Structure 1
């Protein structure tokens, strides 16, 4: 595992700066560019380097539904993007990153293939198809019959977390999640973590709507959501919380620490994604490991299959793994 010192040496900043950035210390005055370099260094140092292969003469567009600013709040998509980029570099393929807001600018770029990272509506998928018929979606599947996709089974991951809580004796379980909408504003996005949470606990007779809090998938919202939960329930606060992603969990940890609530003695927290900073939290964050680099690599491999002539669409589901650390018991 890379150390904070390794990251500091790679970026050229102090160990203290790296530590405060990884812990989302709002009192630190540092540019978004420096934060980006630190987060990317943490991801890249976790990435297993591989030798490059012979050149394959294709030009690929990477379309990101998150902006660089949004990536800093939710490192999940940064990790997927880096996985895509490293795999393309491994094959010596040229690529360019684009924001979803600039779809029209892709038309004249001459891309042989497109990898779209994030959540895209069917309308956006059709627009991307007009740029290149060789198209792979990562983290969403707008149309299983038409497009390749790489997804995660968040329903199973949610069930695994909740079963772990039940096995530890927790019966009052809360949820901290995010609400999302497609960037073309065509509709809201259903979150399988939220629906699976309600379904699973309802079947057990343990679901409580009052224990559910939703905002954005960010550290800031995680902090405010947990702060509200502490205020609402005081001494009757749920003894365990499932956070929809690690960013929310990081903010929630800070809110509990500010409120004097001991983690995990009084409240346990488990997040999702296992972003690179999770292990640097205090306490280290229990989380579901999502193999984001593999998601990115698989997307490139699917694109290469399309270049080789495969016509039938393929949907690949990547497994997850629950990692128990210091934030839960």
Structure 2
């Protein structure tokens, strides 16, 4: 027989309304009372009917996370954090796949699944601020990633300029002077690529190093194959690079493979650093030095801000949130001498 709130109230010696307040988190309940109710819940094995609860509030209890890539482990790790955060709050999170296609991104943003979801977390690639500002759907939305800035929605994004400068400072501190950037993109609206390239050039200027356009490699994508192809192109130069700053970890891993195939050693001949801190980089040979964004915080913040909007909690005007990042020093670009400490640096 199903356990009811009345059964719990009788066991705990409180009113049914008090049990409801504890179960649903409606209003503060004294710690001693809450403990008695929770003990009764545990003893009776009560499981709340989350679907019914959401339906009573006019919601489905389902939110969606729309991502551009399924084969990029960064998005898998981000989705894992978001799913766990949603589950803790009694929501189901669905994954939607846009393949980085503009039409699909527009379709998702404009409420394609509005009849089944209460809110959307969107990682867009091609959409602009104007696209988002002209959105007609009333479904609450939170943006993650770096493609769109200053849109009228909450936005969770790392500081790409600061992250790129930190990666470059590390390579420069190692004595590297011909540092290549792999991952510039052929499409001008790819904001993350533009920001990371800008951080690269600013760090060169700050160190008094010249910018050599031959060391900037444009790629059509952001995968391992793109990194390997970019590295092979760099190795045809009369003066190849002595270090590589890659747009992301997958490009960095592809570059390492191409260097190995060419008979060069990492980091002895060429140091390599990426961004994302995907698990694969912790087991590659050599292990990958990288900028590690707090993916757990990114996923959790995105879910929390979305649920605040869905559930009508005071959230203020839309805002941007910047989770921290840290430099993780591993074998592909190890510290070999004294270096100026950074507040975001660490090693593992």
Q: Which residue of 2 aligns with 1:77?
A: 75
1:60 Cα offset (Å): 3.8
1:208-249: per-residue Cα shift (whole Å, max 9, x none)?
A: 11111120211001001001111223xx32111101100000
Q: Which residue of 1 aligns with 2:86?
A: 88
User: Are 1:211 and 2:215 an aligned pair?
Assistant: yes
Supply the distance in 1 between the matched residues of 2:197 and 2:166 (Cα, whole angstroms).
Answer: 14
Q: Which residue of 1 aligns with 2:256?
A: 253
User: Are 1:113 and 2:119 an aligned pair?
Assistant: yes
Supply the distance in 1 between the matched residues of 2:240 and 2:49 (Cα, whole angstroms).
Answer: 57
Q: Contact between 1:61 and 1:98, CA under 8 Å: does it hold in 2?
A: no
RMSD between superposed Cα atoms in Å: 2.5
Which residue of the other structure, out of 271, 274, 277, is the alignment partner of 1:271? Answer: 274
Supply the distance in 1 between the matched residues of 2:175 and 2:113 (Cα, whole angstroms).
Answer: 56
TM-score, reference length from structure 1: 0.74
Q: Which residue of 1 aligns with 2:41?
A: none
SS at match of 2:235: helix
Structure 1 gap segments, 5+ residues each: 1-51, 182-186
Q: Which residue of 2 aligns with 1:193?
A: 196
Supply the distance in 2 between the matched residues of 1:188 and 1:206 (Cα, whole angstroms).
Answer: 26
Supply the distance in 1 between the matched residues of 2:332 and 2:179 (Cα, whole angstroms).
Answer: 15
SS at match of 1:224: helix
SS at match of 2:64: strand
1:97 Cα offset (Å): 2.4
1:124 Cα offset (Å): 4.2
Q: Contact between 2:65 and 2:93, CA under 8 Å: does it hold in 1?
A: no
Q: Contact between 1:150 and 1:298, CA under 8 Å: does it hold in 2?
A: yes
Q: Which residue of 1 aligns with 2:232?
A: 227
Structure with the bigger RCO (C-alpha within 8 Å, sep 6+) is 1
Which residue of the other structure, out of 294, 297, 300, is the alignment partner of 1:294? Answer: 297
Number of aligned positions between the proteins = 266
Q: Which residue of 1 aligns with 2:97?
A: 99
Q: Contact between 1:113 and 1:132, CA under 8 Å: does it hold in 2?
A: no
1:112 Cα offset (Å): 2.2
Show the 5 A alignment for 1:124-135.
Answer: 124-126=131-133, 129-135=135-141
1:300 Cα offset (Å): 0.7
1:125-184: per-residue Cα shift (whole Å, max 9, x none)?
A: 246x53334210011363536110100111111111111112111111111114275xxx
Q: Which residue of 2 aligns with 1:154?
A: 160
Structure 1 pair 193–284 and aligned structure 2 pair: CA distance change class (3 A):
same
1:8-55: per-residue Cα shift (whole Å, max 9, x none)?
A: xxxxxxxxxxxxxxxxxxxxxxxxxxxxxxxxxxxxxxxxxxxx9995
Q: Which residue of 2 aligns with 1:27?
A: none
1:100-120: per-residue Cα shift (whole Å, max 9, x none)?
A: 425267255243221112433
Q: Contact between 1:114 and 1:134, CA under 8 Å: does it hold in 2?
A: yes
Structure 1 pair 126–180 and aligned structure 2 pair: CA distance change class (3 A):
farther
1:200 Cα offset (Å): 2.2
Supply the distance in 1 between the matched residues of 2:317 and 2:111 (Cα, whole angstroms).
Answer: 28
Structure 2 gap segments, 5+ residues each: 1-46, 99-103, 335-348
Which residue of the other structure, out of 236, 241, 247, is the alignment partner of 1:238? Answer: 241
Q: Which portions of structure 1, spanning 4 or more consecutive aligned residues, are displaced by more than 4 angstroms?
A: 52-56
Larger Rg: 2
